[in-house]
Amino acid sequence: MKKRSSEETRVLLGNVAIARGIVEAGCHVVTSYPGTPSSEIIPAVAEFKKELGLNTYLEWSTNEKVAFDNALAASMAGKRAAVAMKQVGLNVASDSLLSSAYTGVIGGLVIISCDDPGPHSSQTEQDSRFFAILAKVPVFDPSTPQEAKEMVKEAFELSEAFQVPVLLRPTIRVSHAKQKVILFPPKILDRPANFKKNPERWAATPRYRLILHTKLNKTLKKIQEKFEQDTKWNYEVRKGQGTALGVISCSASFAALMDILEELNLREPFNILKIGTPYPFPQKRVSEFIKRHQKVLVIEETDTVIESQIIDKSKVLGRLTGHVPLQGELLPEVIYDILADVLGELGIANLEKSVDARLDKLIEGLELPVRRPTLCAGCPERAAFFAIKRALPRAIYTSDIGCYTLGLNLKAVDTVIDMGAGITLASGFYQAYHQDKKDIPIVATMGDSTFYHSGTASLLNAVYNKAKFILVILDNEITAMTGMQPTPGTGITADGNKGRKIPLEALIKGCGVRWIKTIDPYEVKNLIKLLKEARKYTQKAEGGIAVIIARHPCLIQYPEELEEGRVKVKITDDCNGCNYCLDFFECPALVLNEEKNRVEIDRKYCIDCGVCIHACPKGAIVPVEERPQVR
């Protein structure tokens, strides 16, 4: 191994810094399911593993609960383990989290749950720190990538010392921030797997669970004492002698607050108490800080974890008093405006508001087009949604989480609730209508990775309870939205090695489905025909669930796939600007020329997939060169 200087610095993405912390802590096993903003952690560990010649076991698991349990077992066998996910992934893994808090761990177990205030790429703005309270596990809340890296290492030490799982909660502005970070060499821990049987702990019945709970509460007390004394993660930034206002802050909000204070240069600056370990809550430290000030403002992201835990709230300003917004990201300008209001209210300083209303008004007056996210030009999922909408225009369309949520734009997605709900809502809708003896078409859509994540349990249930609907699996052979992670369908593992492939067809057959067809969605006409056949099958007395696997690789991941089949198209004078293709095909490469009242092709985006030929009711989109076999 190359000798490394101990003071090497690199600019790292927060998630890469977290990965580095995992490696520096000597962690043996790392598992994850991809989800923004957590997806870069495992690939970065894989890079460090290669660079440093480590023997780390890495796994893209099929879902977050699976990832959690696999990491937990490694920890029970005495190894260090980490599991990473996005905040809604922790909902999926919560069963494991709550139970393992009672049984505890042997080797350090660190759970990384990345929050998404905004939300930028999630269904909810939930605060993972509340899960720490619910599960009764300690939580670290970093403000910067550098701090996140160091906290990971501390979390391992704490987890091992007290035999509890420990949560790290970076928000998106830590995970996707980048910073100059100091690197240290990895710890090498020799920990041969050695599971020591102890059924009263590892297979505890309710009677023993009570004992474990009592023990956990005692442990939490000890950790709380430790956090009360700690000055590395919980510290005061003394800015002045002023006692009129103190601020308690944490996470990325703390970092923004520090930069704002630096810019403001207040005549009477205020003190800030930074809390890096919000649970178990360092109550005494916080009370002492509050005692020294007349008012205390709590600025934390995303919810009221610190604020709610303060026992005497009589001096406290925050979300519960309406001084901090209850939703949305605490962007620097939002924090600035909160400060301006509070400083004004308390008569400490008069700050101008950060929002320049004149500029906002000018820009608003321009009526700029809203740039909504859209499926890429050539995306096979667009072809599938277009066919679904054409074949069964009045169906209920239940869908799921992934790029294909954007089937919304093609009006072929009616519901998006959580991973797996594409199928469970379809069976639920079927049963609700069937109870009233009503037969309605239902088309569920779900991506391949989502199906491996939570489709099977949903499908088993639907088959078992005799639901009838169409399920279209949009198989692009990758987890696209989160940045191209492999799936069990590709059979590639997290460090790029070969795993065992599990074909969708066999899996779906195993779920008891008897009508399964595979088709390339680029064959729009055939897919429409197939959807109509599928509908008929769902209407038969002996029918059931019809599954269509619409298989075409993601063109971002597999651009070479297009090479053979390029079909350059043009738009003829038959186009009368009816907008049908814009509304129901919605390709970024098709744009309306308002002056000419006709649609044109934007060659910047067009990748010559030729699918839009099917999207014009007038037949005005045609191949430039007549080919013998246009799809």
Partner 1 sequence: MKTQIVLAGIGGQGILFASKLFSELGLKLGLDVMGSETHGMSQRGGSVIAHLKLGQFQSPLNRRGTADILYSFEENETYRTLKFLKSGGCCFANLVSGDRFDSHVLDYLKKKEINFRSYDASGTALKIGSILATNIVLIGFSVGTGLIPFQYQDLRVVLEQLGQKKNLAINLKALEIGFQEGKKD
Q: What is the 3-state secondary structure (H, E, C) of 454-467?
A: HHHHHHHHHHHCCC
Phi, psi angles (nearest 5°) of residue 155: -60, -40
Residue range at the interface with partner 1 (CB under 8 A); choices 311-319, 359-367, 414-422, 459-467: 359-367
Q: Which of 75, 96, 143, 304 binds partner 1 (CB under 8 A)?
A: 143
Rounded Cα gap, residues 444 and 359, in angstroms: 45
What backbone torsions phi and psi does residue 83 show, to the nearest 5 degrees?
-135, 130
527 burial via Cβ count (<10 Å: 0-12, 13-18, 19+): buried
CA distance 298 to 293: 13
Nearer to partner 1, 100 or 485 (CB): 485
Cβ 142 to partner 1 shortest distance, Å: 12
Q: How far is the CB of 176 from partner 1 (least distance, A)?
A: 5
Establish if 285 lies at the interface with partner 1 (CB under 8 A).
no
CA 611, CA 525: separation in Å to the nearest integer?
Answer: 10
11 forms part of the interface with partner 1 (CB under 8 A):
yes
**Encoding tokens for residue 149?**
């890296």
Among 371, 394, 438, 498, binds partner 1 (CB under 8 A): 371
CB 234 within 8 Å of CB 284: no
Q: Which is nearer to partner 1, 178 or 313 (CB)?
A: 178
- How far is CA 497 from each of CA 473, 478, 483, 494, 501, rounded to the nearest angstrom? 26, 15, 18, 7, 12
Report the residue from 29, 97, 252, 508 that binds partner 1 according to the rule CB under 8 A.
252
Please state the separation of Cα 400 from the chain's center in Å.
Answer: 13
- Map the footprint of partner 1 across residues 513-572, applying CB under 8 A: none
The DSSP output letter for 557 is T
For strands 166-168 and 139-140, give the pairing. parallel
Distance CA 544, CA 538 (A): 5
Which amino acid, one-letter code, is at 485?
Q
C-alpha torsion 276→282→283→288, nearest 10: -80
The torsion region of residue 310 among left (phi > 0), alpha (psi -120 to 50) and beta comes to beta
Task: Please pick, from the candidates 65, 173, 285, 323, the single residue that binds partner 1 as defined by CB under 8 A.
Answer: 173
Query: Least distance to partner 1 from the beta carbon of 286, Å?
Result: 22
Q: What's the min distance (Å) between Cβ of 258 and partner 1?
A: 4
Q: Which stretch binds partner 1 (CB under 8 A): 43-51, 290-298, 367-375, 526-534?
A: 367-375
Interface with partner 1 (CB under 8 A), residue from 53, 206, 322, 369? 369
Does 457 sit near partner 1 (CB under 8 A)? no
Amino acid type, 609:
C
Number of neighbours of residue 386 by Cβ within 10 angstroms: 26
Q: What is the 8-class DSSP label of residue 596?
A: T
Work out which of 203, 210, 326, 362 binds partner 1, going by CB under 8 A.
Answer: 362
Size of the site for partner 1 (CB under 8 A): 55
**From 197, 437, 438, 604, residue interacting with partner 1 (rule: CB under 8 A):** 604
Per the structure block, which two tokens stand in for 143? 């403000």
Give the CA angle between residues 326, 327, 332 to the nearest 5°: 100
**What is the separation, in whole angstroms, between the first and last Cα of the chain?**
54
Stretch that binds partner 1, among 47-55, 125-133, 161-169, 374-382 (CB under 8 A): 374-382
**Residue 180 in the binding site for partner 1 (CB under 8 A):** yes
CB closer to partner 1 out of 270 and 336: 336
Closest CA to 569 of 597, 595, 538, 607: 607
Q: Which of 117, 129, 119, 101 is nearest to 307 (CA)?
A: 129
Q: What track of x and - describes contact with partner 1 for positions 85 through 124 (by CB under 8 A)?
A: -----------------------------------xx---
Task: Decide if residue 36 touches partner 1 (CB under 8 A).
Answer: yes
Give the span between the Cα atoms of 424 and 398, in whole angstroms.
9
Tell me whether residue 41 or residue 158 sits nearer to partner 1 (CB atom): 41
Cis before 628 (ω within 30)? no
Any contact of residue 374 with partner 1 (CB under 8 A)? yes
Q: How many CB atoms lie within 10 A of CB 200?
A: 11
Least distance from partner 1 to the Cβ atom of residue 361, Å: 10
Q: In this complex, which beta carbon is closest to partner 1, that of residue 30 or of residue 255?
A: 255
In this structure, what is the dihedral angle of CA atoms 503, 505, 509, 515, given to the nearest 10 degrees? 170
Length of the chain: 631
Q: What is the smallest separation between the CB atom of 405 and partner 1, expressed in angstroms?
A: 8
Site string for partner 1, 381-410 (x = CB under 8 A): ----------------------x-xx----
Closer residue to partner 1, CB minimum distance, 89 or 107: 89
238 binds partner 1 (CB under 8 A): no
Closest CB to partner 1 among residues 112, 310? 112
- By beta-carbon proximity to partner 1, the closer residue of 80 and 86 is 86
336 binds partner 1 (CB under 8 A): yes
Question: Rounded to the nearest whole angstrom, what is the least distance from the CB of residue 174 to partner 1 in the complex?
Answer: 8
Q: Could you say whether residue 18 binds partner 1 (CB under 8 A)?
A: no
DSSP 216: H
- Site membership for partner 1, residue 612 (CB under 8 A): no
255 touches partner 1 by CB under 8 A:
yes
Judged by CB under 8 A, the residue of 185, 242, 428, 483 near partner 1 is 483
Q: Is position 354 an interface residue for partner 1 (rule: CB under 8 A)?
A: yes
* Bridge partners for 271 per DSSP: 246
The nearer residue to partner 1, 264 or 346, going by C-beta atoms, is: 264
Is residue 356 close enough to count as binding partner 1 by CB under 8 A? Answer: yes
Query: Would you state the structure tokens that stand for residue 146, as one six-digit string?
Result: 């550098």
- Dist. CA 56–CA 465, nearest whole Å: 43
Minimum CB distance to partner 1 smaller for 40 or for 141: 40
Identify the CA nearest to 48 among candidates 20, 8, 12. Answer: 20
* By the rule CB under 8 A, 594 interacts with partner 1: no
Which of 29, 66, 74, 375 lies at the binding interface for partner 1 (CB under 8 A)?
A: 375
Verify binding: residue 473, partner 1, rule CB under 8 A. no
Asked if residue 263 binds partner 1 (CB under 8 A), the reply is: yes
The answer to whether 251 contacts partner 1 (rule: CB under 8 A) is no
Is position 40 an interface residue for partner 1 (rule: CB under 8 A)? yes
Cβ atoms of residues 163 and 219 within 8 Å: yes
Which residues contact partner 1 by CB under 8 A?
9, 11, 13, 36-37, 39-40, 120-121, 143-144, 173, 176-180, 252, 254-256, 258-260, 263, 331-333, 336, 354-356, 358-360, 362-363, 365-366, 368-369, 371-376, 403, 405-406, 481-483, 588, 604
